[in-house]
Amino acid sequence: MEILWFLLAMCMLAAALGPYLLRRRGGIHQVLPGSPDAADPDAYGFLRQEELDIRLPGPDQDLLDVLEVVQHTQNWRPAAQLLAGTGASGELRWQRVQAFAGAASLELSQRPGVGGAWLRNWRSESPKDAGAAQVHAEFLVQQAWRSESPEDARTDDFRIILEEARTVCGEAALLAPGDPIPYIVELAVGRGLAYPEPQFEQLWAKVIDRAPEHMGAHLAALHYWCEKWHGSRDRADEFAHAAAARAPRGSLLAALPLFAVYEHLPEVMLVQSFYRSAVVTRAVEGAMHAVHTARADDPMLAHVRHLLVLFLVRSERWWEAMNQLVRIDGHVGALPWTLDQDPAAVYAVYRALAVAGYEANGGSPATLPAE
């Protein structure tokens, strides 16, 4: 029966992914929504596809509670209070800024002209609030990328919005001079506006002066180098490996080379041997080491685990894939799933294949791997 489940899942994955394949930037494109699980997720404590939370990579109940209040009442003050109580230089504040901006951006797309009014009110009623300025800047960045054309052509609207975001980043930096977030937001601006390398390096210096081990900042900078050197891995790999080499024990920066590999996946890369190549294996092992030594409450831990699931499933390392899945299931708001129109569906396909491979090799809910 286990072999039957395994073969069923392999056919399901081929049917779901085959017509759509992988994009150059590593996304999993348009997996068919509603793909069934290969095994009952309840047996492993997994949530059903329709129950998966696509907003966050991992749990942050305080943020979810505040978002619910803000969106229900359109009162920005709970958001301001939460950010004011969140450390300025940490990953958690950056994730919360992104989440608030994303919520406002989604509201606006759903209700053009009126959605996200709470953010506009926050900025107008509390112009000296650094948190409001940071969320506003990130909101503009997200709006710019939403406006990007399907052909990846940078439209006038795209550039105009990013120029405004750059202005708001400057305002946010003046309101909180030691805070790295305005400069981290501007990293995405620099990518979109194609800053010359010297200008980007100056911006990056401001970031690492304030938060030298900030994983989110390194990922934003990596995106710039990958796009700047499209077609060549050298500069991005150099950046990622240098960051990993100087990372102290317990830092998730050791996983950065895996993100670099992911960013450079070819357009069509379904060949299983690639995922067992020396380059991928070294990057996966570095990321595995990083998650084993990181703090359990590191906000970026879930991000690394989600990406590991893709590589571990692709390389048929089923037990290790299950090890990650049991720790992240429930939230799918992270790469690689979020580049798809239906993150929960594509995540469910990979989870199904992991379960099937795990069971085909003697695994069961009673023998779930322990870290």
pLDDT at 15: 40
Architecture of the CATH domain 61-211: Alpha Horseshoe (1.25)
pLDDT at 37: 44
Assigned token pair, 281:
């294996």
Residues 6+ apart with CB under 8 A from 308: 258, 284, 287, 288, 291, 320, 321, 324
Exposed (0-12), middle (13-18) or buried (19+): which is 101, by Cβ within 10 Å?
Answer: buried
pLDDT in tens, 257-269: 999 999 887 644 5
pTM equals 0.86
Assigned token pair, 330:
């429930």
Amino acid at 86: T
Contact 97, 60 (CB under 8 A): no
Please list the residues that pair with 22 across neighbouring strands. 28
pLDDT at 153: 57
Cα(313)–Cα(336) distance, integer angstroms: 13
Cα(173)–Cα(183) distance, integer angstroms: 7
Residues 6+ apart with CB under 8 A from 226: 25, 236, 260, 263, 264
Per-domain boundaries in the chain: 1-59+229-371, 61-211
Please list the residues that pair with 53 across neighbouring strands. 331
Cα(312)–Cα(85) distance, integer angstroms: 37
pLDDT at 368: 82
pLDDT at 148: 66
Q: Residue 285, by phi and psi: left (phi above 0), alpha (psi -120 to 50) or beta?
A: alpha
- Residues in the chain, pLDDT under 70: 1-41, 148-154, 229-233, 266-272, 369-371
Q: Distances from the Cα of 317 to the Cαs of 29, 229, 232, 311, 322, in angstroms?
A: 23, 31, 29, 9, 9
Cα(299)–Cα(344) distance, integer angstroms: 20
pLDDT at 40: 65
Residues 6+ apart with CB under 8 A from 87: 93
Cis peptide before 299 (omega within 30 of 0): no
